[in-house]
Structure 1
């Protein structure tokens, strides 16, 4: 059971839910249903954050996280990733992030690493978690989380002035690639900024320099598949709008599908997004992610994470060609 000190930590460290409302953020509202869904996602994220900060142990945090409805549980674990990293940064505290990943959180590790990036955006750099001690492949998702946070909370700087690309350096290696990973997070946030409206999101992406479009579409693809809030026709329009970046969009959606399959949180929308965006079944999209996951994680001009992303996109494109050939 959490202590009085844990409750105090929660009150002092947890951001207010009002920060995630569409009105406060100034995001596009497509319709009432999409607005309600996006705001509920924000609420669940903050609930997971509070659980990780308040709980007396990682096991207690896990018990609380497992009470969240299955379809939303990944967002709670994402918030818990942020909360655990913030908790570990406090004097005399530690082990919360490791404990979270060692338990049921291991099935939500994609989301937890994204949450760590949120903490990096809020903490002074000297309090950042030791990223060099984390998973060398999935640690790049922390930069995705950082990019999402910045676009979500600093929208004027990161979205409304798309010609500016803000510098970033970390100790995770391959610093030349860091802005690509940050852009993937910005792209994911654009799904929220655009209120799940594919036309608005496409317009937002096109405002950025062309060299950034592939990473932005990959992030938006992850969000459209994981967060949902969109119809089949809207997804098809989003795919069409992506043009030459169609398979970057599919790669992000495949990541989202694998994250839900691994965690056992597959919903109807997962199957829809896999079919429309990835051009295959949810099971096959997830399997592509697992089959292409690199074994060698050192060496090379680009991180293994980027090689993995490219291999997923190429394999999905290949499957699409095979499928089209079979239909002719």
Structure 2
């Protein structure tokens, strides 16, 4: 090889090594700055409802798993080391860890102007079985930086699941700004009706934590919101009750009764959760119980409604309206199932 080419190759390798070293230094600095204390999910600290029973422990553990995944994704590049770290999280809570990893990768991409490289690597690698949770986690990243999920160059490319970032955005707002968003029912300025709707589904999920899975507390809290927003909040409740758990069967039965005219929305959220659990390959017992009570079906059947509604002609998602049509299709699947069951 000519000497000039040899020198060029060496310079190229040196440049690559220098960029990798710089990227590692930046990542370590961000990890130190952004690392989260697991204690911040304590319900007493957050001034959430405190009640007897297993709900608080289950839900706080879910929050801790989220932060464990967040810290792990900040501390190491996406790959086998991250997968090994998240595998240390209990199987039932692993989805929350990947949600946290999604937030961390979203922050790294937004702060580093990488065009979504970290998020794409996470989805293509360790989080292959958790796409729903990662998309939700990216919504947290936007919210933490006081940005909207439609800001700048998109980090997410899935034509349907990308709208889940608005769900994650809403959960973040309810969890961390509860006085304004829950107590005051505040909504960010400038949202379209559909953006607000998906954001409110995420807010509904946060109410499950805020009210510590207490059915009466949830119903009373949702009753404080404008009527037009309640359907989306109940959808989020159905999703969180089914995915996160924390409620006994009798409490789920009370929840279904209290949802009243919003049972279809409750079932739609339940279907979302069942499909996310099925995709991960981990369907815990509480998900099966919630599906039976809230949707009147097995977790497999309830999750299939999300798949069937997605493949209905004309439901290929490009716009937020398509996403809303998907949700409506799931509600119709549930309604048809209930009618057949009552015959």
Structure 1 length as normaliser, TM-score? 0.90
Give 2:179's aligned residue. 156
Give 1:172's aligned residue. none
Contact kept, 8 Å, 1:62 with 1:100, in 2: the verdict is no
Answering whether residue 333 of structure 2 is matched by residue 310 of structure 1, we say no
Give 2:125's aligned residue. 103
Q: How many residues align?
A: 316
User: 2: CA distance between counterparts of 1:228 and 1:129?
Assistant: 35
TM-superposed CA distance for 1:168, in Å, is 4.4
RMSD between aligned residues: 2.1
Q: Structure 2: 5+ residue runs without aligned partners?
A: 1-22
Give 2:167's aligned residue. 144
Contact kept, 8 Å, 2:249 with 2:289, in 1: the verdict is yes
TM-superposed CA distance for 1:53, in Å, is 0.9
Q: How does 1:43-122 map to 2 (within 5 A)?
A: 43-91=64-112, 95-122=117-144
User: 2: CA distance between counterparts of 1:55 and 1:147?
Assistant: 28
Q: 1:296 aligns with which of 316, 321, 324?
A: 316
Q: 1:31 aligns with which of 44, 52, 55?
A: 52
Q: Secondary structure at the match of 2:332?
A: helix
User: 2: CA distance between counterparts of 1:62 and 1:131?
Assistant: 25
User: 2: CA distance between counterparts of 1:115 and 1:80?
Assistant: 7
User: 2: CA distance between counterparts of 1:229 and 1:129?
Assistant: 37
Runs of 4+ deviating beyond 6 Å:
2-5
Q: 2:231 aligns with which of 202, 205, 214?
A: 214
Larger radius of gyration: 2
Answering whether residue 258 of structure 2 is matched by residue 241 of structure 1, we say yes
TM-superposed CA distance for 1:288, in Å, is 1.3
Q: 1:231 aligns with which of 248, 260, 267?
A: 248
TM-superposed CA distance for 1:8, in Å, is 4.5
Give 1:323's aligned residue. 341
Give 1:18's aligned residue. 39
Residues 147, 133 of structure 1: alpha-carbon distance in 2 compared, 3 angstrom cutoff: closer
Contact kept, 8 Å, 1:89 with 1:129, in 2: the verdict is no
Give 1:269's aligned residue. 286
User: 2: CA distance between counterparts of 1:249 and 1:91?
Assistant: 38
Answering whether residue 203 of structure 2 is matched by residue 186 of structure 1, we say yes
User: 1: CA distance between counterparts of 2:274 and 2:113?
Assistant: 38
Q: Secondary structure at the match of 1:106?
A: coil
Structure 2 length as normaliser, TM-score? 0.86
Contact kept, 8 Å, 1:81 with 1:97, in 2: the verdict is yes
Residues 124, 271 of structure 1: alpha-carbon distance in 2 compared, 3 angstrom cutoff: closer
Contact kept, 8 Å, 1:101 with 1:109, in 2: the verdict is yes
Contact kept, 8 Å, 2:102 with 2:119, in 1: the verdict is yes
TM-superposed CA distance for 1:64, in Å, is 1.9
TM-superposed CA distance for 1:144, in Å, is 0.6
Contact kept, 8 Å, 1:279 with 1:320, in 2: the verdict is yes
